[in-house]
Amino acid sequence: METKVNYTIVGAFVLVLGAALIAGALWLASGGTLQKKYDLYLAILDESVAGLNLNAPVKYNGVDVGKVRDIRLDPANPERVRLVFAIERGTPVKVDTVAVLKTQGLTGIAYVELSGGARDAPPLLAIPPEEYPVIQTKPSLSARLENVLTSVLAKLDSTSGNINAILSDENQAAFKSALADIAAVARTIAARKDALDAGITHAARTLENASRLTAAAGPVIARIGRSADAVEKMGIEVARTSTSAGKVVDSAGADVSRFTAETLPELERLLGELSTLTNSLRRLSEQTERDPRGFLFGRTPVPAGPGEITSEPAKKP
């Protein structure tokens, strides 16, 4: 007995199975439970990204954590490149995480390396007006080498120009003249070698004598130092003596004042009498010098002149 096949049921089963497969594929593509979820981040590079393609790997300390989703120039500054990364959700992208463009091996395939991210650093969040969180960047090794080579080449160019300026015709002529002058000086020195040797010998002797003099002056300086110490001590003693004398003068001041008040009048009278006595002795001395006989025989009256009348007769000697 032959079994009849219902092609309608078979066709319906095939259609339902195909629709289920298509729905499952679409569900997985739209982010099903079996697919990883990604967060978008933005990085801005100030260098060329030659060799970096879409879906290029993004690594965090060497571990694949995402891929490059978008590459485009910055509309505000065409010298910068904006990169959008799709990074697995849960990757510890922190505020101090840094993105660097690197090349893989000898193939030259470029990728993005993330590094940094301290344990206590907060997670990176979007800051308006940017739509995505912005990861910090730093120049790649090739960019740093390019900058260094550019600087070195510029310095080499400047050095070459300076060397060319130094080796100009005028400077070469000046160098030749200087060398000729040096040669002349050398010949002069060679011709006066004996005189220079004698001068050096005299200078050595002078230095030796000066050394001896310095050695001999050492004790003198020491004695001067001791004398200075003695003078300083003497000054201290004099200061102390002056202080003591001042005290003595102060104590004797009252006695001197009292003595002056009591004795000064008597002393003035005595001085007056001595002055009168002195005048008398001086007159007596003058008269004795004029007439020594008068000191023995008395004074002889002077004879009256013509026309003079004396009131008394002259005494006889």
> CA angle, 61 as apex, 59 and 64 as ends, to 5°?
30
Write down the pLDDT at residue 114. Answer: 93
Residue range 287-300: average pLDDT? Answer: 60
Backbone angles phi, psi at 263, to 5 degrees: -95, -25
Domain ranges of the chain: 36-138
- Judged against a pLDDT cut of 60, whether residue 314 lies above it is answered with no
Write down the pLDDT at residue 184. Answer: 87
- Judged against a pLDDT cut of 60, whether residue 82 lies above it is answered with yes
> Where do the DSSP E strands lie in 46-198?
57-60, 63-74, 77-88, 97-104, 109-116, 134-137
- Judged against a pLDDT cut of 70, whether residue 215 lies above it is answered with yes
pLDDT band at 113 (very low <50, low <70, confident <90, very high): very high
pLDDT band at 119 (very low <50, low <70, confident <90, very high): confident
Q: Check: CB of residue 118 under 8 Å from CB of residue 78.
A: no
Share above pLDDT 70 across residues of the chain, in percent, rounded to a whole number: 76
**Residue in this structure with the two tokens 């990883």, named with its chain if needed:** 36
DSSP string over 221-279: HHHHHHHHHHHHHHHHHHHHHHHHHHHHHHHHHHHHHHHHHHHHHHHHHHHHHHHHHHH
**Lowest-pLDDT choice from 94-98, 117-121, 193-197:** 193-197
C-alpha of 242 from chain center: 52
Q: Determine the straight-line distance between the first and last CA of the chain, rounded to whole angstroms.
A: 230
Write down the pLDDT at residue 297. Answer: 53
Residue of 293 and 185 predicted with greater confidence: 185
The rounded distance, in Å, linking the Cα atoms of 173 and 137 is: 56
Q: Mean pLDDT in the chain?
A: 79
Write down the pLDDT at residue 166. Answer: 81
**Lowest-pLDDT choice from 21-30, 134-143, 280-289:** 280-289
Sort strands 97-104 and 109-116 into parallel, antiparallel or unpaired.
antiparallel
**Lowest-pLDDT choice from 118-127, 232-241, 257-266, 292-301:** 292-301
**Lowest-pLDDT choice from 30-34, 105-109, 148-152:** 30-34
Using CA atoms, how far residue 202 sits from 64, 188, 190, 191, in Å, is 85, 21, 19, 19
The rounded distance, in Å, linking the Cα atoms of 96 and 99 is: 10
- Judged against a pLDDT cut of 70, whether residue 230 lies above it is answered with yes
- Per residue in 159-213, pLDDT (tens digit) is 888 888 787 788 888 888 888 889 888 888 888 888 888 888 888 888 888 888 7
Using CA atoms, how far residue 12 sits from 15, 18, 22, in Å, is 5, 10, 15
Share above pLDDT 90 across residues of the chain, in percent, rounded to a whole number: 17
- Decide: residue 98, CB within 10 A, 0-12 exposed, 13-18 middle, 19+ buried: middle
Residue range 31-36: average pLDDT? Answer: 57
The rounded distance, in Å, linking the Cα atoms of 216 and 212 is: 6
Residue 10, CB-side half-sphere exposure with 13 Å CA sphere: 4
The rounded distance, in Å, linking the Cα atoms of 51 and 45 is: 14
- Mapped onto helix, strand or coil, the DSSP state of residue 298 is coil
pLDDT band at 65 (very low <50, low <70, confident <90, very high): very high
Write down the pLDDT at residue 1. Answer: 47
φ/ψ bin of 314: left (φ > 0), alpha (ψ from -120 to 50), beta (otherwise): beta
